[in-house]
Structures are given as structure tokens and as C-alpha cells.
Amino acid sequence: MKIIAAIIGTGVGLKHLEAIHNYKNSLVKIICEKDKTKLKFLKKKFPQIKIVDNEDQIFSDKQINLVSIASYDNYHFSQIVKCIKNKKNIIVEKPMCLKILELKKINKLIKNEKIKIISNLPLRVNSFFLNLKKKIPKNKVYYMEADYIWGRPHKLLDWRSKIKDYSITLGAGIHMIDLVMWLLKSKPISVQSFGNNLGTKKIVFKKKSFALFIFEFPNNLIVKITANAASIYNHFHELKIFTNNETITHCFAGTHHFIKKKNKIIHNKINAEYPDKKNRKKLIQNFIDNLLNKNIKPIISFKEQLDLMNVCFAADKSIQTKKKIKINY
Ligand SMILES: NC(=O)c1ccc[n+]([C@@H]2O[C@H](COP(=O)([O-])OP(=O)(O)OC[C@H]3O[C@@H](n4cnc5c(N)ncnc54)[C@H](O)[C@@H]3O)[C@@H](O)[C@H]2O)c1
């Protein structure tokens, strides 16, 4: 099998191009971009790739068997549906969609077709987090904190301030929610969320730019997650994991391990492989491996992607209703 791919959107989509083009049996045949200035640049930079401004040129091309969706969040759902209807495998930027009804439709359509889909959640291939996953004694964790500190407030002022259903939970918090569920190999039972927009200019960005989620996991484990888009800070994924015997803290000031030995607390600094940008493309490349050889397991299953979206929708519902929400999977 040969992978003939297309990419929609060339912000982070250019990273998808790097991951796909010339990887194993793969090439990118078409790039779709609707920004006229970028179109000119793309035609010059990639003369061997067909550059178009109408996505239907991708869906009508019978050769294309993989579409990478890196458009604005509000286009993901309709582009996923077109992919499924035209039998094209899908890499989709997070979030997969913006409404629970859309998620239900995707689930129904994918179940009927032999299409594979992966959401781009690259923290799962980050060396530091992979290492951490092997080391943390999951059943001993009693509390965890995970903060998505975006550190790029200007990003809220672009398309993110214009689209109707933009959500900071689906746009930022989703990375930490997935990271926590994956590290703990567990799903939260309920969520209580809070949000504000005190850190942003309300006239331009009308939605919440900060959100705090308190998740209850099985066995009384509690996790606090924040999505902090207004932050004046460096882009960082901060983490604190507490067990009765050990603590790991990963923040901009450094990564540390604390352990209790003979009633003494021993403290070590860890040289974390973070942000580990070189490995980010591995998630997409593993998906291609899985398309080429079904014995290779995908890093994220379809069910995990659905569960993650359900958790995010429940977290947003809690912000709207100001109530604790039981999460349905
Ligand atoms: N996984 C991650 O870590 C990560 C990081 C950044 C962005 N994202 C996601 O990637 C997507 C794109 O964000 P970005 O930061 O690259 O934005 P961006 O504004 O930098 O780039 C998006 C590009 O896509 C084009 N575009 C948008 N909709 C299109 C459409 N329907 N057809 C053709 N072209 C279209 C725009 O003209 C623009 O050039 C978003 O869904 C965002 O949430 C994910």
C-alpha cells in the first residue's frame, strides 16, 4: 500500500507535511489553503505538490487515501464527514469537533466504515512523559495537577476569537486532560469546572481564556487541570504528581523528584527531555505505520479519542451550568 496524502491548512499543517512527506511509502499530493498570500508562497516552495484553495479537489481525488485536517476548529467536523464519505483515512488536529452531537455522528459514521482516525495529541510521544508513564506507581497517586500554560495570548486574537464555538477546554485543556488520562490509565467519573476571561481583552476574545477543572477519578483520586491561555509565561506543560511516598514536579523552573527514605526526604533534579520537539512527528508517523501494517498498534485508539472528547464536553458543560457533571462515556 502507498499512502497518498493531502493536507488542509498550513499553520501547524506544515508540521504534518514534514511528518508525512517521504515517510516510508508516503507522499503528500495536495495541499489546500484558503489564504491567498500563503497560496503564492506554497506554490513557490512546493512545486511538486498540487496547491489548491478548494477542499473538494481533495475529496474527489480517488488516489488520496489519507487527509490531514489542520484547518480551524470549526471546519474539522464537516471535513471529517467528507473524509468518511469519500473513504479517506484521517489525521485531525484537536479538537475533532465542537459539539457532542457532532461527536455522536462521527462515531456512528466511523463504525460503519473501515476508516481510521487519529487526533494529533503529541504529548503522548514526548520522551519525558513517556518515561514518566513507565515510572509512576499509578495506584498510589492520590493527587495530580496539570497546567497547560499557553504563553501565547496573541493566538486568541486570530481566528480563535472569531469562531462561534471556540472553547479553551477543547483548544488547550484537551492536551492536559489526555495526558493525565493516559498517564493514569484511568477515566474521570465527574468534573467541576470554573472559568473566567479577566486576563484577556473581553471586546476581542469574548470566551473564557482561563479554565480550571477538578476531576474525580476512581478510588477517590483527585486531579486539578487548568487551561491558561491568557498567561504571560513561556509555553509549558506543568505537572505535579503526588503519591504517599514520592512527588514529581515538572515546571518551567525545573523538573524534580522527591522520595521518602528512612524518614528523610531525598530530593533530586531530573534532566527532563522536554519539550522534545524532534519526536512530535512520531504520533502521525505511527498512524501511517498502522495504516501500512495493521499489526502495529496506534498510539491512540478511536475509543480513547471519543472518551477524551466526552470528558472535554462534560468539563465545558460544568462551566456553563456551574454544576458538578457526571461524565458519560
Ligand atoms: N496539536 C497541537 O499541538 C496543535 C498546535 C497548534 C494548533 N493546533 C490545531 O491546528 C489547527 C490549526 O491551527 P493553527 O495554529 O495551525 O492555525 P493557523 O492560523 O496558524 O493556521 C491555519 C491555516 O489553515 C488555513 N485554513 C483554515 N481553515 C481552512 C480551510 N477550511 N481550508 C483551507 N485552509 C484553511 C488558514 O488559512 C491558515 O493558513 C487548529 O485546529 C488548532 O487547534 C494543534
pLDDT of residue 297: 96
Closest CA to 103 of 306, 300, 315: 306
Could you tell me if the CB of 11 is within 6 A of ligand 1?
yes
Q: For the stretch 41-76, what's the b/e string if a residue is b when 16 or more beta carbons lie within 10 angstroms of its beta carbon?
A: ebeeebeebebbeebeebbebeebbbbbbbbbbebb
Q: Are 316 and 167 in contact (CB under 8 A)?
A: yes
Cell numbers that stand for 327 in this block = 461524565
Could you tell me if the CB of 258 is within 6 A of ligand 1?
no
Could you tell me if the CB of 75 is within 6 A of ligand 1?
yes
pLDDT tens digits, one per residue of 116-165? 999 999 999 999 999 999 999 988 999 999 999 999 988 998 999 999 99
Average pLDDT, the chain: 96
Q: For the stretch 96-119, what's the b/e string if a residue is b when 16 or more beta carbons lie within 10 angstroms of its beta carbon?
A: bbbebebbebbeeebeeeebbbbb
Could you tell me if the CB of 17 is within 6 A of ligand 1?
no
Answer yes or no: is pLDDT of 203 > 90. no
pLDDT of residue 66: 98
The residue with cell 486539578 is: 224
pLDDT of residue 204: 84
pTM of the model: 0.97
Protein residue closest via CA to atom 5 of ligand 1: 12
Atom in ligand 1 nearest the alpha carbon of residue 9: 24
Ligand 1: centre distance to CA 91 (Å): 13
**Beta strand pairing status for 66-69 and 141-149?**
unpaired
Closest CA to 207 of 141, 148, 156, 149: 156
Ligand 1 mutation target, pool 93, 178, 237, most atoms within 8 A of CB: 93
Ligand 1: centre distance to CA 236 (Å): 20
Atom in ligand 1 nearest the alpha carbon of residue 76: 41
User: What SS3 state is found at 266?
Assistant: strand
Ligand 1: centre distance to CA 325 (Å): 30
Could you tell me if the CB of 34 is within 6 A of ligand 1?
yes
Mean pLDDT of 249-277: 96
Torsion 168-169-170-171 (CA) sign: positive
Ligand 1: centre distance to CA 244 (Å): 42
Protein residue closest via CA to atom 20 of ligand 1: 11
Protein residue closest via CA to atom 25 of ligand 1: 9
Answer yes or no: is pLDDT of 260 > 80. yes
Could you tell me if the CB of 10 is within 6 A of ligand 1?
yes
